[in-house]
Homo-oligomer: A and B are copies of this chain.
């Protein structure tokens, strides 16, 4: 195995994918910090909007690894981590390299600018995957170069762009992903499919997405609540695709506080939302075939059941896959 810049960037990319779908309205970003001898000091990701950027999380861990100053580990706010790093770094980062899947931000948004932090810490080399196309955040590279940081762009850019794409879609219009769980046998019927981890992961997605789309038959038969209770999260608005509006309004789905439920014959409502998850089976897959950006598949290594999605001749590119608990979680796009 070659241990090179791509290896370090891949660690950052994989770390970021774990939070894909969970960082909205921010992008999923990962960051690796490597010390002067090539040692990996940190691999971190941005985990949720309002929490520190990936670079700040990584620099926090790297600082601790270099100094053993555990005070920094107790800090949660980005501004506090920035302040502590700037006051105490003593140039320990001056021969370090930083790998980030996205160009460091240059604006003071919810957190101080990462480009400024990296510059002031004197990090020697910054490797960037995707350029920031966000008009407000961009110019991170310029900010870094002005202070003498060596900047290397477009490292694994294609992979980093695939990671960033959902964010770009939310800026342009909206990001629509289709989530399903299935067994190795391709089936999604006949009882619970996924592991506890996977089911919690879906609830975390629901917490962050702003609209959840399901089919009328699913609501009638499964009577799901479609909330985020497994992670103590907020339930998204729900769009039930149905030509009939005869639902049992007593089921919990219709009584979640703060949630709107729409029953519609088409998908026009999607234009009012930004981060949209579709949950469904074969018919929903077919119905939404041409509007879905990414597919998220929870694959349980089991047999059983008899029916699942099998839309003839569709092929996917697996953008990222990982094993969590018992299942494989795959982000894919149709090709």
Chain A contact residues, CB within 8 Å of chain B: 1, 3, 11, 15, 35-44, 182-187, 297, 299, 301-306, 308-318, 321, 323, 326, 328, 330, 332
Contact = CB atoms under 8 A, between A and B. Distances in A.
Nearest to A35: B37
B318 A326 contact: yes
A108 B265 CA distance: 75
29 contacts: A1-B42, A1-B43, A1-B44, A3-B40, A35-B37, A36-B37, A37-B38, A37-B39, A38-B39, A38-B40, A39-B39, A39-B40, A40-B40, A184-B297, A186-B187, A186-B308, A187-B310, A301-B316, A301-B317, A301-B318, A303-B309, A303-B311, A303-B313, A303-B315, A304-B310, A304-B312, A304-B313, A306-B310, A321-B321
A3 B42 contact: yes
Nearest to A327: B318
Contacts of A330: 301, 328
Contacts of A303: 309-315
Given A1-B11, A303-B310, A304-B312, 15 more contacts: A1-B42, A1-B44, A35-B37, A38-B39, A301-B315, A301-B316, A301-B317, A302-B313, A302-B315, A303-B311, A303-B313, A303-B315, A318-B326, A321-B328, A328-B330
A182 to B, nearest CB: 8
A251 B287 CA distance: 46
B43 A3 contact: yes
Nearest to A332: B301
Nearest to A300: B315
A135 to B, nearest CB: 32
A54 to B, nearest CB: 12
Contacts of A299: 184
Nearest to A186: B186
B40 A37 contact: no
Contact of A185 (B44, B308, B326): B308
A184 B186 contact: yes
Given A3-B42, A15-B1, A326 B321 contact: no
A180 B318 CA distance: 20
A320 to B, nearest CB: 9
Most B CB within 10 A of own CB, among A35, A311, A314:
A314
Nearest to A30: B1
Contacts of A308: 185-186
Contacts of A3: 40-43
Nearest to A184: B186
A202 to B, nearest CB: 18
A316 B305 CA distance: 15
Contacts of A310: 185, 187, 303-306
A279 B299 CA distance: 23
In order of increasing CB-CB distance, the 9 nearest A-B pairs are: A186-B186, A37-B37, A38-B39, A185-B310, A301-B316, A185-B186, A1-B43, A39-B39, A302-B315
Contacts of A309: 185, 303
